[in-house]
Chain A
Amino acid sequence: MNNASPFLELESGPRVDITWDGKPLSLPDGANLAAALLACGIEVFRSTPVSGAPRGPFCMMGACFDCLVEIDGVTRQACMIEVKNGLDIKTINVPRAPNA
């Protein structure tokens, strides 16, 4: 548990190691990735390709596409992924439009 997080974990279970932009994190095995990241104090998941504005999870049900992260070179919705050991997550950060 991370004190910086506004979220409280009510229960605890076995944890596994993942990396977030290279930084090691310990998250509950099998948990919803977006929820687990929020619980350990990560609120900003990415910045938008349009203005570079920060975004975090919004709908938690796979509809809003705000919790996007990059896993194995593919853009994924963190709220639709389960935590498993060794997950290597990259943030999608810079304004990506080539002319931006």
Chain B
Amino acid sequence: MRKRDLVVIGAGPAGMAAAVLAAELGLDVTVLDEQVLPGGQIFRGVDRVSASRSKILGRDYTDGARLTQDLRQSRIKHFSGAVVWAIEENFRISFTHEGRGAQINADRILLATGALERPMPIPGWTLPGVMTAGAGQILLKQSGIVAQDAVLVGSGPFLYLIATQMVGAGTPPAAVIETQRLRDMIRATRHLGGALRGWPYLAKGLKMISEIKRARVPRYTGATQIAIEGEGKAAALTFIHKRQKKRVACKTVYLHHGVVPNTHAARSLGISHRWDAGQVSFVPELNPWGQSDVAGVFIAGDGAGIGGAKVAEYAGQLAALKVAEELNCISISHRNRVAVPLRRALAREMAVRPFLDAAYPPFEEALSPSDSTLVCRCEEVTAGDIRKYARLGCLGPNQTKAFARAGMGPCQGRYCGLTVTALLAEANGLSPDQTGYYRIRAPLKPVTLGELAAMDNMSEGPVD
């Protein structure tokens, strides 16, 4: 089977920018992406969005069409609807495409797998009607549907963004219930120097907050004891605000307290990760080119650590430069020359992050949920179960996986992994690094046995 110079997994900003630049520099590039259209989650559906929706979603979103257009115009092979389920040694990549198993080989790989919403296990979070805020925005971007009288819960500027977009769509949220406290903001001011370098973000944030206020959407900050009530589906949200119990009736709840790198593919390759205390998540160990400690594998975009769309674009290009240089398409001096402005732009974009991380920390109650709260949605394992198995000697998440089944379901631990690590670290008095994370194996996403069997003794991939 022919070996591609570079296979990019994920067609969000990092993947698209990397693929386009690498192709321009002469590399044979293939992009594999799960979605029907390129753009990732941030620019989801941007190529088909209507004019009225564009207006609601704003320039930061429609700007993504610049990247999808470049991707289409280049001589990149782009497989949409391609679900990668295994990446093996020598970079044999197995994926599902059009209902069949396919395989390609790669010389270099760029993982541009983006972010996931940080799991927010609170009582009732598995009820129908409770979704991630990202899901709410995807509904708007891709499908043009918006929730009426939704309640937005958690922390972070993304809540303001989706709230203003909902206001713009004529369906303002019933309430925005925020978990960050005044003391978080005060603590964040020590990062204000950096934040001022990222002043356009701060200006945008303040503008969004005033828009929400103007639309008379009630905002509560410092909320605690948040729970979702409902028989069979979400009916109301309860919380404590200024020592008073509040209840807001609602059919839709959007949860958000930050996003975290989607590290599944990277972990399946054995790439080292470390705990990032600022981002409260694991991030892969990378050099400034996005190169991992597994030879030939690069990571760019939010999967490398949360930075947002612009950072993803620059980081994708930096990785492309390094790959092009390694494969002798450009010289080291060419690489370095092009990298200089990219690094400068990247640093500027990252400047605001420490401030945002400090001002909008994850919701503490969801990092260490009450005993009865489900943490593993698939196998329905509670926080109390994890604590109980810690007492039975489980030091790490692979042991609680065996003991409690947490992480064994179809989502493969994507929405319980960080919680289980945090619970075990807390119970055993160890750090997240000492506690570790799930061993991720194939299939990265479920695949039918029929499809697998059809690949038995496959000498050539059906794809080319």
Direct A–B touching, Cβ under 8 Å = yes
User: B169 at interface (Cβ–Cβ under 8 A)?
Assistant: yes
Decide if B233 touches A60 in the complex (CB within 8 Å). no
Neighbouring B residues of A36 by C-beta, 8 Å: 143
Q: Which residue of A lies closest to B41 (CB)?
A: A61
Cα A7 to Cα B233 with chains together (Å) = 15
Q: Which residue of the partner chain, among B50, B83, B411, contacts A11 with CB atoms under 8 Å? A: B50
Neighbouring A residues of B288 by C-beta, 8 Å: none
Decide if B52 touches A11 in the complex (CB within 8 Å). yes
Taking the nearest CB of chain A, how far is it from the CB of B15, in angstroms?
15
Name the interface residues of A31-48: CB closer than 8 Å to any CB of B: 31-32, 35-36, 38-39, 43-45, 48
Q: Which residue of B lies closest to A65 (CB)?
A: B410
Neighbouring B residues of A7 by C-beta, 8 Å: 139, 145-148, 252
Neighbouring A residues of B251 by C-beta, 8 Å: 6, 43
Per-residue 0/1 for B35-65: is the Cβ within 8 Å of any A Cβ (1 yes, 0 no)?
Answer: 1100001000000001011000000000000
Taking the nearest CB of chain A, how far is it from the CB of B346, in angstroms?
25
Neighbouring B residues of A6 by C-beta, 8 Å: 129, 147-150, 251-252
Decide if A43 touches B128 in the complex (CB within 8 Å). yes
Taking the nearest CB of chain B, how far is it from the CB of A67, in angstroms?
10
Decide if A10 touches B146 in the complex (CB within 8 Å). yes
Neighbouring A residues of B138 by C-beta, 8 Å: 60-61
Neighbouring A residues of B139 by C-beta, 8 Å: 7, 35, 38, 60
Decide if B379 touches A43 in the complex (CB within 8 Å). no
Taking the nearest CB of chain A, how far is it from the CB of B343, in angstroms?
30
Name the interface residues of B407-432: CB closer than 8 Å to any CB of A: 409-411, 414-415
Name the interface residues of B207-261: CB closer than 8 Å to any CB of A: 232-233, 251-252
Decide if A60 touches B135 in the complex (CB within 8 Å). yes
Decide if A58 touches B34 in the complex (CB within 8 Å). no
Decide if A59 touches B52 in the complex (CB within 8 Å). no
Give chain B's interface secondary structure class.
Answer: loop
Give chain A's interface secondary structure class.
Answer: loop
Taking the nearest CB of chain A, how far is it from the CB of B297, in angstroms?
21
Please indicate which of the listed interface residues A6, A38, A63 has the most CB atoms of chain B within 10 Å of its own CB.
Answer: A63
User: A9 at interface (Cβ–Cβ under 8 A)?
Assistant: yes
Decide if B414 touches A63 in the complex (CB within 8 Å). yes
Number of A-B residue pairs having CB atoms within 8 Å of each other in the complex: 118
User: B142 at interface (Cβ–Cβ under 8 A)?
Assistant: yes
Cα A64 to Cα B134 with chains together (Å) = 13
Neighbouring B residues of A82 by C-beta, 8 Å: 36
Per-residue 0/1 for B99-132: is the Cβ within 8 Å of any A Cβ (1 yes, 0 no)?
Answer: 0000000000000000011000000001111111
Cα A62 to Cα B284 with chains together (Å) = 22
Decide if B50 touches A58 in the complex (CB within 8 Å). no
Decide if B128 touches A63 in the complex (CB within 8 Å). no
Neighbouring A residues of B387 by C-beta, 8 Å: none
Cα A38 to Cα B252 with chains together (Å) = 11
Cα A31 to Cα B37 with chains together (Å) = 12
User: A84 at interface (Cβ–Cβ under 8 A)?
Assistant: no
Decide if B145 touches A10 in the complex (CB within 8 Å). yes
Decide if B380 touches A51 in the complex (CB within 8 Å). yes
Neighbouring A residues of B131 by C-beta, 8 Å: 56-60
Residue pairs across A and B with Cβ atoms less than 8 A apart, 27 shown, are A6-B149, A6-B252, A7-B145, A7-B252, A8-B171, A9-B144, A10-B145, A35-B143, A38-B145, A43-B233, A44-B233, A53-B380, A55-B128, A56-B128, A58-B131, A59-B117, A59-B135, A60-B131, A60-B135, A61-B134, A63-B411, A63-B414, A64-B415, A65-B446, A68-B410, A75-B446, A82-B36
Q: Which 7 pairs from chain A and chain B are nearest by CB?
A: A56-B128, A35-B143, A60-B135, A65-B410, A6-B251, A60-B138, A10-B144
Query: Which B residues form the contact surface with A (CB < 8 A)?
Result: 34-36, 41, 50, 52-53, 83, 116-117, 126-132, 134-135, 138-139, 142-150, 169, 171, 232-233, 251-252, 262, 377-380, 409-411, 414-415, 445-446, 448
Q: Supply 12 further A-B pairs (C-beta < 8 A) apart from A11-B52, A43-B233, A66-B126.
A: A6-B148, A7-B139, A31-B143, A35-B142, A39-B145, A45-B128, A53-B126, A54-B232, A58-B377, A59-B132, A63-B414, A63-B415
